[in-house]
Amino acid sequence: MNPTAHPMTLAVPPQPTDHSLGSEHARVVVVEYGDFECPSCKVAATTPALLLERFPSQVRFVFRHFPLEEAHPHALPAAEAAEAAGAQGKFWLMHDVLFRNQAHLKSTDLRRYAGELGIDMARYVAEIDDRIYLQKVREHIEGGRLSHARATPAFFINGVVQDISFGMKALHDAVAAAVTRHHR
């Protein structure tokens, strides 16, 4: 779909390198652009589990980074830490830890969380020091910008933005409607 045709569409479709939960063959794909230091994203952090509990084979959930660096100075390093954890198969564990500990995202905290998750610390430290995940995070940010995401969390259901300004129930209802449409 051409992102300029409809300004509120997902510019970058789900990629094999995205962090996702749920069935690869799901007909309903929810993409979130999130920021680990954003209070609204913390509220939304339980969304993947809730959606997959309700629609175990019908929904796939994708998380992409969209750190709002001006407002959240620790969001970019947290995104890089999540990517480093993801390289060792622990993205979603780190995702949950970062949101649970949102007020404590300094580099010493991030390193401690990595150690608590059993991540190979020599590899983690080398990758963080070399900033090898910065490019991937920047690509997520650019994809969010091309999709006209301005705030976090920004959700897209099957490529179309979902307004959650009145709460997460709107997202859950829209996903339920999309699942129903795809099962007719």
pLDDT in tens, 37-65: 999 999 999 999 999 999 999 999 999 99
pLDDT in tens, 108-128: 999 999 999 999 999 999 999
Q: Is residue 4 part of a domain?
A: no
Tokens coding 125: 């430290």
Number of domains in the chain: 1
Q: Is residue 9 part of a domain?
A: no
| Measured CA angle at 65 (ends 91, 160), to 5 deg | 115
Q: Is residue 11 part of a domain?
A: no
Q: Is residue 2 part of a domain?
A: no
Nearest CA-CA partner of 9 in 148, 124, 173: 148
Question: Which percentage of the chain shows pLDDT scores above 70?
Answer: 96
Q: What is the CATH number of the domain that holds 148?
A: 3.40.30.10
Q: Is residue 14 part of a domain?
A: no
Q: Is residue 10 part of a domain?
A: no
pTM of the model: 0.93
CB atoms within 10 A of CB 67: 27
Q: Which are the contacts of 144, defined by CB distance < 8 A and separation ≥ 6?
A: 33, 64, 66, 154
Q: Is residue 62 part of a domain?
A: yes
Range of the domain at 160: 19-182
